[in-house]
Amino acid sequence: MLTALVTGSSRGLGLEFVKQYAADGWSVIATCRDPAKSPLLERVAAGATGRVAVEAMDVTDFGQVDRLAAKLKGTAIDVLVNNAGIARDDVERQRMGAMDYDGWLALLKTNTLAPIKVAEALMGNVAASGKKTIAAISSTVGSLVEMDYPVYPYATSKAALNKALRLMAAQFRDRGVIVLALCPGHAKTDMGNMAPGASVEVDASIAGMRKIIAGATMATSGSFTRWNGEKISW
């Protein structure tokens, strides 16, 4: 049986990754900050006849990341989905003039450092699997050329993530590990709805990204792709 591990699976895109992989017969390790406060995930797990194991993992608590990795020692993870992320709707505090630097650091920790830490902690599990794939949910907002959405913290957190993913793809190529940066589109989640105009249905976004993950090869490792298959300029 194939296994996926998804971070930030209490709601939004992460929850839909869990739903779709479980419906496809995969074994899913669904991680979230607080299982006791994740009723949507609890319901999905209850309906998945044992295929969804819920584990607590705040991705910014690196000790907790290491403890889960120790618990999962020897478990092959075919697809690691680094999905957990944060954004803020106080746009004026994310621009020069009234910048919230502590908020910026928090965004960098969650959106940039944490996915790298999770991948580092679980690299052995991924490398020991059949599919050996790490997918990170980035954003076109992090592209240096395609979009100038004027929020420094979120945009730089995803731009820096992208660069780290390129380095990771190169570093682990000889172990056969595929690394993908994906953009879900402007999807109708709590985060997506912070900005007007969310137009992409969550199920379609996840189906699209799962298709990209399923078709990934070493030739596409290190690429940046939108949910609908469009290549994104770095």
Ligand X SMILES: NC(=O)c1ccc[n+]([C@@H]2O[C@H](COP(=O)([O-])OP(=O)(O)OC[C@H]3O[C@@H](n4cnc5c(N)ncnc54)[C@H](OP(=O)(O)O)[C@@H]3O)[C@@H](O)[C@H]2O)c1
Taking CB under 6 A as the criterion, the residue among 6, 18, 33, 48 binding ligand X is 33
CB of 130 to ligand X, least distance (A): 25
Kindly tell me which of 39 and 176 has the beta carbon lying closer to ligand X. Answer: 39
Taking CB under 6 A as the criterion, the residue among 4, 131, 169, 192 binding ligand X is 192
**Binders of ligand X in range 57-86 (CB under 6 A):** 58-60, 83-86
Which residue, 15, 16, 12, 17, is CA-closest to 4? 17
What's the one-letter identity of residue 64?
A: Q
CB of 180 to ligand X, least distance (A): 14
Taking CB under 6 A as the criterion, the residue among 112, 129, 133, 189 binding ligand X is 189
**Binders of ligand X in range 122-151 (CB under 6 A):** 137, 139
Residue 8 as a binder of ligand X (CB under 6 A): the answer is: yes
Taking CB under 6 A as the criterion, the residue among 14, 35, 153, 208 binding ligand X is 14
The full DSSP string for 39-92 is HHHHHHHHTTTT-EEEEE--TT-HHHHHHHHHHTTT---SEEEE------S-GG
Let me know if 36 is exposed, middle or buried by CB neighbors in 10 A (0-12, 13-18, 19+).
Answer: exposed
CB of 56 to ligand X, least distance (A): 9
Which residues are near ligand X by CB under 6 A? Answer: 7-8, 10-14, 32-33, 58-60, 83-87, 110, 137, 139, 183-184, 186-187, 189-192, 198
